[in-house]
Structure 1
Amino acid sequence: MSIGRTFSISIGGMISGIATVACAQGVPPSNKTGDIIVTATRATTATKTDTSIIDTPQSIGVVTAAQIEARGAIGLQEALRYSAGIRTEPNGSDFRFDYVTARGGFNAARYVDGMRTPDSSFTPRTEIYNLERIEVLRGPSSVLYGQGAAGGIVNSITKRPDFNRHGEISVEYGSFDRKHVQGDITGALNAEGTIAARLVAVYRDANNQVDFGKDDRIMVAPSLRFRPDDRTDIVVEGLYQRDRAASIASFLPLAATLQAEPGRELRWGAYLGEPSHDFYNSEQASGTLLVTHRFSDTITYTGAVRYSHSTAHNGDVEPSVWDGFINPFLDADNRLIGRYRYDSRGTTDMVTTDNNLRFDFEIGPFRHKLLLGVDYLRSRIDSATIYTDATPIDIYAPAYSPADVPAANFEDDPRAIDTQLGFYVQDQIDYRDLATVVLGVRRDRAVNDVAGNDRQVDKATSFRAGLVLHPIKGLSPYFSYSESFLPTIGRDFYDKPFVPQRGTQYEIGIKWQPDSATLLAVAAYSIKGTNLLQTDPLNGNNQIQLGTVKSRGIEVEASRTIARNFTVSASYTYTHARTGRSINSLDQELPISGVPAHQASIFGEKSFALHAETWLRVGAGVRYIGPSTEAAIFYDIVADGAVERLTTPGFTLADALVSVEHGRWALSVNATNLFDKHYYATCSVRSACGVGFGRNVIGTLGYRF
């Protein structure tokens, strides 16, 4: 039985059951107020205890489903464009993966419902229509989540069955011949209201801005919820997703983009691969169990387990733009550039589980939320690759032929199995209504087992501490300290295993929430990453762990809803990220690639009553990404090495929304990069530029019931 058929067995019955109960209950009245309330007040990611944002001693951002829809986001990266401290789409228009960096270029790990997702090239982009909200925890977070980089985590919260019956269906058509249908239906399955179901589905047939590119998807996510009483909540979720997308052809030579001579800059959609061999085909299936049980007013158990299986085959012919040559062209006219064929195929299997007990109790004036938890992760990756030279191409007059795809056989990569077992303790202590203290510690054991190599075992202890003061209602200054660890796989030249990379962060900030319609958060932080790999200056065949990265910055996020029909949100980010001084950096502090010093954004929405049942909603946003600089060291001109720097110009983009809602119907048009500004996301020294996203306009007709 195929993965697709596995998920089709009970979906028809679920739809029938929900629809039957819906008819029995009648159709509820639609929302006719035109209200726009999108300010989130609580989050689970930062403490795993559903704590209010202003009581959390660390910077956290929440993007709601309403904000995702209003901003015209079609993927996880797009949904986070207006978030402080986050750099989305650092590689430009790469349609294969979700890649987000935070607080100075550190990778932001991806989680779904609090559990890590496979971090491999065989895991496709998240379908955001299946999300209730996205929570971003900025900074190190190893105490609660184990191994990870110092940037933080992006936790996607999926839609779950609701006992109140409702649903929607919508169709879209947009730029690049985008045809998209999506639906969401949920409700109780029995009269007692103890069992509910939900079905979320997506079908898409679309191209993208790169010639011959595509972005097709089928996604089905059924779920069941069992709530026999007010103490127990059990959710079972399934997911099947199949993608047929393009590969990596959005990277274009630096000499024909940012540094092109007049009249020789390639257009946005230029394609330098082979149409007959350009694909990223993936299939993913997962099952998730979420359990919450309150034994008493004092003790609550929360558990989650997920199994996921994904397969992918990535095939393309790419231009040779990463070789570090000053002139990448092969001819005197600077038209021909070399190419190579790169294929990868593989499977990823992952089991994750997280279980904790929460004890709520009081000792004198102190209220405790004591969390005792254990989590486990096991992932296995089996893969194979092809890498071989291909025929050159004239980048200004490309000619394509299947014969230009060289024949080659896959070579198996070593099988890799990673496991992690962690135990954590956290105590969240409230002193009357004056202060909140968060203290946490975690012990991890991570094992990396690569076929043909010795097993690598890393152990780490991580700490966390935070203090929030409440001098007046709604005002919360705070201070926090947190740590991260990330195993470094491999051994040095002398067969000594590498130790984990470590990250430490100090953060101070203030949050102000005078009412549910207003939130202002300001944070200043300093992060230091250590044990990064560097080339040994005494042995070029060896690597040593003396590398450091230092990042400090300021982040501001604000949102305000006025008169229930006008909302505005804004953010600002300042980042100063540099490597430490070392022999490998010629004793200089070098900038981190793709990290602008300044980012800012603002988005506003307002609704107008046109009739008793008709509302007009308009919205507009502006995003600014400042210049970013990359530095690299080359030894081909100066024997002792020389630093070369390249600055990618900043850019300002505009987005817009127009929507008319009449009763249960809604017709909307979203436009991102409204004025079709031509920009490059990030360019690399002597290499390539990632082409930015052009204008994307999508019209949507939806019906809610």
Structure 2
Amino acid sequence: MPLFTRFPAILVFILASATAFAQSGSIKGVVKTSDGQAAPFVNVALKEINKGTTTSEDGSFVLKNIKAGSYTLITSFVGFQPQEKQIDIAAGEVTVVDFTLSENSEQLQEIVISDSRSLNEKTVEIGKAGIKPMDLPQSLIVIDKTVLENQQAGRLSDVLVNTSGIYLMGATGGVQEEIAGRGFSYGSNNTFKNGVRFNNGVMPEISSLERVEVLKGSAAILFGNVTAGGVLNLVTKKPKFQDGGELSFRTGSYDFYKPSLDIYGSVNNSSKVAYRMNTSYENARSFRDNVTSERIYFNPSFIIKAGKKTEILVEGDYLKDNRTLDYGTGAVNYEIADVPRSRFLGASWSYYKAEQKSATITINHALNDNWTLNVLGSYQGFYNDQYGTTRPNASSQFVRTDGRWVRGLQRSGTDQDYYIVQANLTGKFSTGSIKHQVLFGADNDKYENTAQAYAYENPAITGNNKNVYDTINVYNLSLYQQRTDIPTMRLTSTTENPSQRVGVYVQDLISILENVKLLAGIRYSYMESGTDKTKTYDDAFSPRLGIVYQPLKEMSVFASYANSFTLNTGLDVNNERLAPSVIDQYEVGIKNEFLKGFLSANITAYQIVNSNLAQSVLPIPDDAINKSNPQELAGEVTSKGVELDVMSKPINGISIIAGYSYNDTRYTESSQYINNSRLRYNPSHTANASVYYTFSNSFLKNFNVGFTTFYIGERVAGRSTRTTVANDTYKLMAIPNYFLFDLSAGYSFDQISVRAKVSNLLNELSYNVHDDNSVNPIAPRMFTATLSYKW
């Protein structure tokens, strides 16, 4: 039976589960200031049972699962007079309570705080279950739009300088950003946009983002075969019923310019339908000679209130990205070539063309006060075509010590269609004195992948290797005449590689006591891959168990275990396909709130062990059926480390983000590589800090200044040293550490704002390196400015 035909039965099961639970009373309302404006992030609590929440951006709040009785509902927020109201709760009914806050001048003289939530108050959408961070035995971090705007983030790597232990591991071809964390790559399986897997073969657009969520550690119970280390979720801006928008223009060094438009509002003044449209255009040269880029982006969305309990969100996403294919400055004998940072070694016409489009519909339906059903369906199409000269040192065409390099040609193409349907049922109930916050879920997705391969045969060349375009010298480009023509390449193969998977999962946050909570769950995943003649099948269970102890309301101590898995394509000595490799992850940590929630400081320690890593069987047994590189699940990779995250709410105009991470990822058992040797691309140390200050009580009112720093330690690239090779065919190459320092300033008056930024102020030089054949230097000192108008 096809996997997609199984999904309706799973959905019926989830819907049926909801009928077993009765309604209970709830409270909802809106908090406004005395001038009628919405009051976000106000604390709202029931005095008698110490149960509370904070208001959302529109000032609304909801408290669910409250036993019938009389209560005192209180609101509090720095700078406003606290308020209390006596209310009565009846089972099965919703009590509506609204507040209007008045300013407290005495408090305002003591401290000024902008509307915001602390790090440990930001529930992540990618977590599906809506668990509060203090209750979650897992590390997370959220970077919101205020940070994105202040720092004028242009690429995902600009955002991630605010996260500990998440870093750029490569920039292959200069066309994508390869992200990693805790020693493991965040590939397309680990990268999400609005909760849907996102192909990161192209740089995502940042201008449309509301926030970026990082959920560290294992997420296999939620998504199946994600690799270890964590997942990344890009959350776009949503429709609003109040009319407004922003028009901005950004410009910068190397002829960079980017106009963008963000408009939103109700459709025909409707209270049921609202829209939002984000769009931008970008065109730029580069600090790299002959390198250019051009991209266009559209992100329309609509929200439909189909009833009091049902909300439908429809989102579209389109990105077209064309840029020069650029494999960097090259390496000579596993040493970075001593050439200018700007030197381009590819053919002048080399290109990378990518197009990505998606459509997503999300339905949220409140079954009652305690139970909510979320159903999502999404399609994503991805296409790319890249053509240019080969990577330096690829295909046995190494750059010689004198700089001479024989360039070949390479071309490839990808067509990918991705479909997903998923349903999640979340709810709360009690069994006696024990409270439960549960998640039932199922998902079904499939990929239709087609890859095109091409070959070039130089008619002037005889012999085996006809893939020769021309010859250059990386140290002196004038020594040889470079070709400028674009040869025709022959399409040699079109390979289809479809895959699909289905998963069902259940998770329960059990409040054993008010300050002791247990998170337990399990997922079953079933996968098919390949065409009918080559189809393979895999399945795996992914358990999760964590405990949280809160000795104080402001402190949470946790420990957890979870596993994830990766699929293997190798064959064993009996010519049988290998089972998935299971990766065990252990995590302990402490989450703290200081200064009445103004400052969050969290520290986490972890160990990730893949003790059944696929590796070559050496020596090959005489009776082996498979004599061609048979594999076995006997290798081991271990990653361990510590992470510190610090984040403040804006206090008296000051906001702070800081972090530090230590990671050590090594082969701890291997037949292919030297035991205890480091895995490539992963720095042992990273550190980050940003401080912003906004003036409020002087002639500089609404003027802000800030700086951002990011340190990434030494790491290795090249080719991991093999135990079976006695010569220097394989070497690791050291990549220098670097320290980035950015300065920013901005000023707002009425509806207009101006921001300026100098990045890499110290003009540091380092590289992002893949193997030894894509050595891409980081950008030099650059200037960016943005002018925007909001209404």
Q: Considering the TM-score relative to the shorter chain, is it more than 0.5?
A: yes
Residue 398 of structure 1 corresponds to: 477
Residue 193 of structure 1 corresponds to: 271
SS of the residue aligned with 1:538?
Answer: coil
Residue 697 of structure 1 corresponds to: 783
Q: Larger C-alpha radius of gyration, 1 or 2?
A: 2
Equivalent pair of 1:480/1:507 in contact (CA under 8 Å): yes
1:672 paired residue among 751, 756, 759: 759
CA distance in 1, matches of 2:394, 2:282: 33
SS of the residue aligned with 2:149?
Answer: helix
Cα distance 1:480–1:644, how it changes in 2: closer, same or farther (>3 A)? same
Residue 146 of structure 2 corresponds to: 66
Q: TM-score, normalised by structure 1?
A: 0.88
Residue 523 of structure 1 corresponds to: 604
SS of the residue aligned with 2:672?
Answer: helix
Equivalent pair of 1:36/1:565 in contact (CA under 8 Å): no
1:616 paired residue among 672, 696, 703: 703
Residue 266 of structure 1 corresponds to: 339
CA distance in 2, matches of 1:541, 1:610: 71
Q: Which amino acid counterpart does residue 595 of structure 1 have in structure 2?
A: N
Residue 713 of structure 2 corresponds to: 626
Residue 79 of structure 2 corresponds to: none
Residue 291 of structure 1 corresponds to: 363
Q: Describe how 1:21-100 pairs up with structure 2 within 5 A.
A: 35=114, 37=116, 39-40=118-119, 41-45=121-125, 47-88=127-168, 90-92=169-171, 95-100=174-179
CA distance in 1, matches of 2:146, 2:635: 42
Residue 348 of structure 1 corresponds to: 416
Q: Are residue 570 (structure 1) and residue 651 (structure 2) matched?
A: no
Cα distance 1:643–1:58, how it changes in 2: closer, same or farther (>3 A)? same
1:340-371: CA deviation from partner (whole Å, max 9, x where unpaired): 21111121100012201123111222221121
Shift of 1:493: 6.2
Cα distance 1:253–1:647, how it changes in 2: closer, same or farther (>3 A)? closer
Shift of 1:537: 1.6
Q: Describe how 1:271-286 pairs up with structure 2 within 5 A.
A: 271-276=344-349, 278-286=350-358
CA distance in 2, matches of 1:125, 1:92: 10
Equivalent pair of 2:615/2:671 in contact (CA under 8 Å): no
Q: Are residue 309 (structure 1) and residue 387 (structure 2) matched?
A: no
Residue 247 of structure 2 corresponds to: 169
1:648 paired residue among 732, 735, 747: 735
Q: Are residue 358 (structure 1) and residue 426 (structure 2) matched?
A: yes
CA distance in 2, matches of 1:402, 1:459: 51
Cα distance 1:257–1:659, how it changes in 2: closer, same or farther (>3 A)? farther
Extract unaligned runs of 5+ from structure 1.
1-26
Equivalent pair of 1:254/1:689 in contact (CA under 8 Å): no
2:535 paired residue among 455, 458, 461: 455
1:609-656: CA deviation from partner (whole Å, max 9, x where unpaired): 4868952110101111111135622589836x8984432221111011
1:105 paired residue among 184, 193, 196: 184
Shift of 1:459: 0.5
Q: Are residue 182 (structure 1) and residue 281 (structure 2) matched?
A: no
Cα distance 1:309–1:436, how it changes in 2: closer, same or farther (>3 A)? same
Q: Which amino acid counterpart does residue 225 of structure 1 have in structure 2?
A: I
2:291 paired residue among 210, 213, 217: 213
Q: TM-score, normalised by structure 2?
A: 0.79
SS of the residue aligned with 1:410?
Answer: strand
Q: Which amino acid counterpart does residue 85 of structure 1 have in structure 2?
A: G
Residue 495 of structure 1 corresponds to: 575
2:236 paired residue among 155, 158, 169: 158
Equivalent pair of 1:185/1:199 in contact (CA under 8 Å): yes
1:636-688: CA deviation from partner (whole Å, max 9, x where unpaired): 9836x89844322211110111111111111111222122211123475x656
1:590 paired residue among 677, 683, 695: 677
Q: Are residue 244 (structure 1) and residue 322 (structure 2) matched?
A: yes
CA distance in 2, matches of 1:413, 1:460: 31
Cα distance 1:287–1:319, how it changes in 2: closer, same or farther (>3 A)? closer
Q: Are residue 541 (structure 1) and residue 629 (structure 2) matched?
A: yes
Cα distance 1:151–1:30, how it changes in 2: closer, same or farther (>3 A)? closer
1:60-119: CA deviation from partner (whole Å, max 9, x where unpaired): 11111111222232112221122112122x224854223211101343510111121246
Equivalent pair of 1:225/1:236 in contact (CA under 8 Å): yes
Extract unaligned runs of 5+ from structure 2.
1-35, 41-111, 457-466, 621-627
Cα distance 1:460–1:565, how it changes in 2: closer, same or farther (>3 A)? same
Q: Which amino acid counterpart does residue 620 of structure 1 have in structure 2?
A: F
Shift of 1:156: 1.1
CA distance in 1, matches of 2:630, 2:503: 32
SS of the residue aligned with 1:632?
Answer: coil
SS of the residue aligned with 2:207?
Answer: helix
Q: Which amino acid counterpart does residue 288 of structure 1 have in structure 2?
A: T
Identity %, equivalent residues: 23
CA distance in 2, matches of 1:275, 1:28: 56
CA distance in 1, matches of 2:376, 2:155: 25
Cα distance 1:416–1:424, how it changes in 2: closer, same or farther (>3 A)? same
Cα distance 1:424–1:634, how it changes in 2: closer, same or farther (>3 A)? closer
Equivalent pair of 1:115/1:354 in contact (CA under 8 Å): no
Cα distance 1:179–1:124, how it changes in 2: closer, same or farther (>3 A)? same
Q: Which amino acid counterpart does residue 603 of structure 1 have in structure 2?
A: S
Shift of 1:527: 0.2
Q: Which amino acid counterpart does residue 100 of structure 1 have in structure 2?
A: I
Equivalent pair of 2:503/2:526 in contact (CA under 8 Å): yes
Cα distance 1:169–1:249, how it changes in 2: closer, same or farther (>3 A)? same
Cα distance 1:284–1:319, how it changes in 2: closer, same or farther (>3 A)? closer
Q: Are residue 509 (structure 1) and residue 589 (structure 2) matched?
A: yes
Equivalent pair of 2:327/2:775 in contact (CA under 8 Å): no
1:452-502: CA deviation from partner (whole Å, max 9, x where unpaired): x52111000110011111111121011111111121235346431121122
Shift of 1:580: 1.9
Cα distance 1:313–1:421, how it changes in 2: closer, same or farther (>3 A)? same
Equivalent pair of 1:38/1:66 in contact (CA under 8 Å): no
Cα distance 1:184–1:564, how it changes in 2: closer, same or farther (>3 A)? farther
CA distance in 2, matches of 1:645, 1:455: 37
Cα distance 1:470–1:164, how it changes in 2: closer, same or farther (>3 A)? farther
Cα distance 1:635–1:431, how it changes in 2: closer, same or farther (>3 A)? closer
Cα distance 1:44–1:28, how it changes in 2: closer, same or farther (>3 A)? closer
Bigger relative contact order, structure 1 or 2, given CA contacts below 8 A and separation 6+?
Answer: 1
Q: How many residues align?
A: 660
Q: Which amino acid counterpart does residue 487 of structure 1 have in structure 2?
A: L
1:189-244: CA deviation from partner (whole Å, max 9, x where unpaired): 24452211101101111122222212211111111101244422110011121111
Of 627-636 and 648-657, deviating more is 627-636
Shift of 1:513: 2.1
CA distance in 1, matches of 2:439, 2:629: 46
Cα distance 1:450–1:336, how it changes in 2: closer, same or farther (>3 A)? farther
Residue 410 of structure 1 corresponds to: 491
SS of the residue aligned with 2:221?
Answer: helix
CA distance in 1, matches of 2:126, 2:237: 20
1:7-62: CA deviation from partner (whole Å, max 9, x where unpaired): xxxxxxxxxxxxxxxxxxxx99999x994847442223463122222221101111
1:124 paired residue among 177, 186, 202: 202
Q: Which amino acid counterpart does residue 385 of structure 2 have in structure 1?
A: H
Shift of 1:303: 1.3
The CA RMSD over aligned residues, in Å, is: 2.7
